[in-house]
């Protein structure tokens, strides 16, 4: 019973971590919109930096998590670091305004040079926190895989759980926290959540049995299947398309709902709900798929078809909104 309660507590940590992460994303997009003056550029810069930081952190910190004796303790330290980095990055946004004004006076409004400057400025304040966020999934998976024994199912469940928390955080920030507390206080709440989650994880890391990292590893090396690089390239391109769709759908929703913050939050929430549902369903199917590459191809084809279907629907909704 105690072990089960500990596992439930760990899952709750990851849910809250996902919620805090999306509070940051919504608040940062709001603050950077005020700096850049263009919603689309702020959204694109935040999304690109956020996802880029997650990818870099997962790659760099994930390998370290595999060698850490107590991965749950490592996870707790990451969460505390996220809170500190997010706080520092948000405070630093106030210093971006003069830098952006100087760049905007030298480059054309729609130039690639100004867009690059905006991306660099966003990265300077957002990347440290999102880099640490990227290490949380590998660390949490490593902490739990010894108990559950199935890596693929555990990753799918954790991804769905974290994404569900992200949906809750996005909706709460856009429609409740900012309205009730203000932009900066909403972020202070997320900082407090991250630090509390980290402290809780540190306490839990001292309980229970031996860590997952202490288990003996298989002596046989796992070789990559032929053509794996092409699969990884396809996955990367799929991520690029997803990022582009998020920016496009945000701009379309602004025409429908009017508020850029509400449009961004609505897009993020619906996007993440779909990801969470897909990940949860994949959890029960991933071990039964005979040809994962073919399945990936069919999924991408389905995404393309569904995306095409949104084009006439979006146009109809924009026209309907104009009549309201």
pLDDT tens for the chain, residues 1 to 324: 444 555 677 889 989 999 999 999 999 999 998 898 877 788 888 888 998 999 899 989 988 877 777 888 999 999 999 999 999 999 999 899 999 999 999 998 888 899 899 999 999 999 999 999 999 988 888 887 754 455 666 677 787 888 889 889 988 998 889 989 999 999 999 999 999 999 999 998 887 544 444 444 444 445 556 667 777 888 888 888 888 888 888 888 888 877 777 888 888 888 888 887 887 777 777 777 778 788 888 888 988 998 898 888 877 777 776 666
In b/e form, how buried is each residue of 90-116, taking b as 16+ CB within 10 angstroms?
beebeebeeebeebbeeeeeeeeebbe
Instruction: Tell me the two tokens of residue 312.
Output: 């006439």
Q: pTM (2 decimals)?
A: 0.79
pLDDT of residue 2: 47
What is the spatial distance between Cα 21 and Cα 183, in angstroms, rounded to a whole number? 15
**H-run or E-run covering 78:** helix 71-92
Query: Helix, strand or coil for residue 259?
Result: coil
pLDDT of residue 305: 92
Angle, vertex CA 83, rays to CA 78 and CA 85, nearest 5: 90
What is the spatial distance between Cα 119 and Cα 46, in angstroms, rounded to a whole number? 8
pLDDT of residue 231: 78
Q: Where are the domains of the chain?
A: 2-211
Nearest to 57 by CA among 131, 127, 128: 131
pLDDT of residue 5: 52
| CATH classification for the domain delimited by 2-211, as one of 1.10.15.40, 3.40.47.10, 3.30.160.270, 1.20.1250.20 | 1.20.1250.20
Determine contact, residues 172/20, Cβ cutoff 8 Å: no
């Amino acid at each position: 019973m105690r072990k089960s309660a500990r596992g439930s507590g760990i899952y709750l940590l990851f849910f809250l971590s996902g919620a805090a992460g999306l509070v940051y994303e919504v608040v940062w997009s709001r603050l950077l919109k005020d700096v850049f003056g263009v919603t689309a550029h702020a959204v694109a810069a935040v999304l690109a930096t956020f996802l880029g930081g997650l990818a870099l952190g997962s790659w760099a910190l994930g390998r370290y998590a595999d060698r850490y004796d107590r991965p749950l303790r490592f996870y707790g330290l990451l969460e505390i670091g996220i809170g500190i980095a997010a706080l520092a990055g948000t405070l630093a946004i106030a210093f971006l305004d003069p830098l952006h004004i100087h760049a905007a006076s030298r480059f054309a409004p729609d130039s690639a040079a100004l867009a690059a400057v905006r991306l660099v400025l966003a990265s300077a304040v957002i990347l440290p926190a999102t880099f640490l966020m990227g290490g949380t999934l590998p660390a949490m998976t490593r902490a739990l895989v010894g108990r559950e024994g199935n890596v693929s199912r555990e990753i799918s469940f954790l991804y769905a759980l974290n994404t569900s928390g992200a949906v809750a955080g996005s909706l709460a920030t856009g429609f409740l926290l900012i309205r009730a507390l203000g932009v900066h206080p909403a972020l202070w709440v997320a900082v407090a959540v991250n630090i509390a989650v980290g402290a809780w994880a540190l306490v839990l890391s001292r309980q229970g049995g031996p860590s997952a990292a202490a288990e003996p590893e298989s002596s046989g090396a796992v070789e990559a299947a032929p053509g794996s690089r092409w699969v990884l390239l396809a996955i990367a391109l799929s991520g690029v398309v997803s990022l582009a769709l998020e920016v496009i759908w945000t701009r379309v929703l602004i025409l429908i709902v009017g508020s850029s913050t509400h449009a961004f939050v609505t897009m993020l929430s619906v996007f993440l709900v779909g990801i969470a549902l897909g990940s949860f369903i994949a959890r029960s199917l991933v071990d039964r798929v005979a040809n994962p590459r073919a399945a990936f191809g069919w999924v991408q084809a389905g995404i393309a078809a569904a995306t095409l279907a949104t084009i006439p629907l979006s146009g109809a909704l924009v026209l309907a909104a104009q009549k309201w």
